[in-house]
């Protein structure tokens, strides 16, 4: 296993992580009828094309959820049916899902990792799992590919047997790109006072800002402080040119609202991609001018979005399409399909899947990525062999939270 020799380098390259999955608990849950992007209109769909059923030997893929039947599983199940019926499976092999719910406890996460191993799955998909490190540990050095997105765990990022479909450096580089674009020289990062949120910013973004010659202030908000006005005003007093909000949807909504009430007119940036309608309504001026940095397109007219809507509508019986967990499940599973398509022999077992992922010979479009690509095993980020994505998607929002324009930010944009 290729280990990163330079531990300091790895430490310096820890990615964004949210407060476990809660940080991504934006957008309506399956209970609400709200539109995650606020549009509330009927979603555009597309034609799924000719059926192409998979006929080979089934291959088991492990998928992690937090509760039985949660929104993640909705996404996986629908995507799996689509792949098996219309895309011919993974290089001909129909996917058989092995589902496990972590109950969001470390013991539960470990149990899932162990279960995946015992069932000898060919790959594990575990984005948006609060205890994903507990799921990963049993699988470390087991030869089973571990695929995820947001993570701060060095072990995952530094391993060439795990595959992170997200750019962990984006917290620094993408916000720096925005700063340069908008002519801003200092940023304040506002997040809940928890190691999982303050850590990545300190370890990662700070050094990048230093090299870029920009200032960065970390503004942690204690959990028992509901209203962050004082802290944000203090940050503005200290000269912050842009504010980056990093946390759960509710936290970010409150932060954006406060910043606008204080009359701050610099860029407001966040990683949250879906806001419930009523939260948008509570912000003066709505989400006008807010910049989302992530890896999922918010453009409803995007072809991938139409495909996604269709898949969910067809195979998930009217489940909401704006749940980010469902979206991420679709994104990651379809990405696996496209990655393996580069190696037609792969797909029957963990070894071949691992090999295929470790040797992607060219970048592949990231589903729902709005133009982003991914390429695993290619050292897209030098110090982090596990990372497959080196770009970040910038979405500019209007008042209702729709994306008016998007662009893919690369490392070059950070200067």
Partner 1 sequence: MDQHLVFLLFGLANGAIYAALALTLVVTYRSSGVINFATGGLAALGAYTYAFLRRGELLIPIPGLPKTVDLGSELTFWGAAAISVVITSLFGLVLYLAVFRPLRDVPPVGKAVASIGVMLLLSGLYTVRLGDIGITTEPILPVEPWKIAGANVTSDRVWFAIVILAITIALAASFKFTRFGLLTRAAAESEKGAYVSGIQPDRIAAVNWMISGAVAAVAGILIAPIVPLTPNLFTLLIVPALAAAVIGNFQRLLPAVIAGLAIGMVQSELTYLKGQHDWLPSSGRDEMLVLLLILIVLVVRAKPLPSRGVVVRPALGRAPRPRSILLPTVVGTALGAVGVLTLSGDWLIALISGFIFSVIGLSLVIVTGYAGQISLAQLTLAGVAGFAMGRLIDGGVPFPIAPVLAALIAAAIGVVVGLPALRIRGLPVAVVTLATAVAIEAFWFHNLDFVNVSGQDIDGPTILGIDLSARVGFEYPRKEFAFLCLAVLVIVAVGVAKLRTSRLGSQMLAVRANEKAAAGAGIPVVRVKIIAFAMGAFTAGLGGSMLSYFQANITFITFSVFLGLTVFATTYLAGITSVSGGVLSGVVGAGGLLAIGINEGLGLGGDLYPILSGIGLVTILMTQPEGIVGPFHNWLDARRRAKLADLQAVAVQALEGHLEPQEPVPGGDVVLQTRGVAVRYGGVVAVDGVDLDVREGTIVGLIGPNGAGKTTLLDAMSGFTRSTGTIELHGRDLSSLKPHQRVRAAMGRTFQHTELYEDLSVSENIVVGAAAAQGRDPKTLEETLELLGLSDVAEVPVAELSQGRRQLVSIGRALIGNPRVLLLDEPAGGLDSRESQWLGQRLRTLRDSGVTILLIDHDMHLVLNLCDDIYVLNFGKVIAHGVPAQIRADRTVAEAYLGSTHADQEVVS
Residues forming the site for partner 1 (CB under 8 A): 14, 17, 20, 22, 25, 28-29, 31-32, 67-69, 103, 105-108, 110-111, 114, 117-118, 133-134, 137-138, 142, 152-154, 193-196, 198-200, 202-203, 218, 220, 222-227, 229-231, 233-234, 237-238, 248-250, 253-254, 261-263, 276, 278-279, 281-282, 284
Q: What is the dihedral of CA 169, 175, 179, 184, to 10 degrees?
A: -110
**Of 151 and 175, which has the nearer Cβ to partner 1?**
151
Nearer to partner 1 by C-beta: 244 or 334?
244
How far is it, in rounded angstroms, from Cα 365 to Cα 337?
12
CB 215 within 8 A of CB 239: yes
Residues 6+ apart with CB under 8 A from 290: 256, 268, 269, 270, 396, 397, 401
> Residue 224 Cβ, how far from partner 1 at the closest point, in Å?
5
Q: In whole angstroms, how far apart are CA 230 and each of 18, 190, 227, 242, 256? A: 23, 12, 8, 16, 14
CA distance 8 to 345: 38
- Nearer to partner 1 among residue 87 and residue 171 (C-beta): 171
First to last CA, the chain: 33
3-class secondary-structure state, position 64: strand
| Cβ-based nearer residue to partner 1, 274 or 367 | 274
- Which CB sits closer to partner 1, 58 or 199? 199
Q: How far is the CB of 72 from partner 1 (least distance, A)?
A: 14
> C-beta of 117: minimal distance to partner 1 in Å?
4
Of 166, 233, 232, 224, nearest to 24 (Cα)? Answer: 166
Q: Smallest gap, in angstroms, from Cβ of residue 367 to partner 1? A: 25
Q: Which is nearer to partner 1, 68 or 382 (CB)?
A: 68
User: Least distance in Å: CB of 34 to partner 1?
Assistant: 8
Q: Confirm if 86 and 79 have CB atoms less than 8 A apart.
A: no
Q: How far is the CB of 411 from partner 1 (least distance, A)?
A: 23
């Amino acid at each position: 296993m290729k280990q990163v020799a330079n531990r300091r380098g790895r430490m310096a390259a820890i990615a964004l992580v949210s407060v476990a999955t809660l940080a991504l608990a934006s957008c309506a849950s399956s209970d609400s009828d709200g539109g995650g992007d606020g549009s509330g209109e009927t979603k555009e769909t597309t034609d799924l094309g000719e059926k192409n059923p998979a006929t080979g030997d089934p291959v088991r893929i492990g998928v992690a959820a937090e509760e039985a039947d949660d929104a993640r599983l909705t996404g996986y199940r629908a995507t799996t049916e689509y792949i098996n019926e219309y895309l011919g499976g993974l290089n001909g092999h129909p996917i058989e899902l092995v589902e496990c719910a972590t109950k969001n406890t470390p013991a539960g996460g470990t149990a899932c990792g162990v279960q995946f191993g015992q069932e000898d799955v060919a790959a594990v998909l575990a984005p948006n799992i609060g205890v994903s490190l507990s799921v990963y540990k049993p699988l470390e050095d087991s030869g089973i590919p571990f695929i995820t997105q947001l993570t701060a765990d060095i072990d995952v990022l530094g391993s060439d047997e795990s595959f992170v479909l997200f750019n962990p450096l984006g917290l620094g580089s993408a916000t720096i790109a925005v700063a340069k674009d908008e002519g801003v020289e200092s940023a304040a990062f506002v997040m809940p006072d928890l190691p999982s949120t303050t850590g990545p910013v300190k370890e990662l973004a700070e050094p990048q800002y230093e090299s870029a010659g920009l200032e960065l202030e970390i503004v942690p908000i204690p959990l028992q402080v509901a209203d962050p006005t004082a802290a944000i005003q203090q940050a503005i007093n200290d000269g912050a040119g842009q504010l980056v909000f990093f946390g759960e949807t509710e936290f970010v909504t409150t932060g954006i609202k406060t910043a606008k009430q204080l009359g701050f007119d610099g860029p407001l940036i966040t990683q949250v991609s879906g806001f419930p309608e009523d939260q948008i309504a509570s912000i003066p001026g709505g989400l006008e001018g807010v910049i989302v940095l992530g890896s999922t397109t918010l453009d409803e007219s995007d072809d991938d979005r139409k495909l996604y809507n269709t898949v969910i509508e067809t195979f998930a019986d009217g489940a909401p399409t704006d749940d980010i967990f469902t979206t991420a499940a679709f994104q990651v599973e379809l990405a696996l399909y496209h990655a393996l398509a580069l190696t037609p022999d792969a797909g029957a077992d963990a070894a071949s899947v691992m090999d295929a992922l470790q040797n992607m010979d060219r970048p592949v479009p990231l589903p729902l990525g709005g133009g982003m690509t991914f390429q695993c095993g290619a050292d897209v980020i030098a110090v982090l062999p596990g990372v497959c994505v080196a770009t970040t998607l910038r979405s500019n929002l209007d008042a209702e939270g729709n994306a008016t324009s998007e662009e893919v930010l690369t490392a070059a944009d950070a200067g």
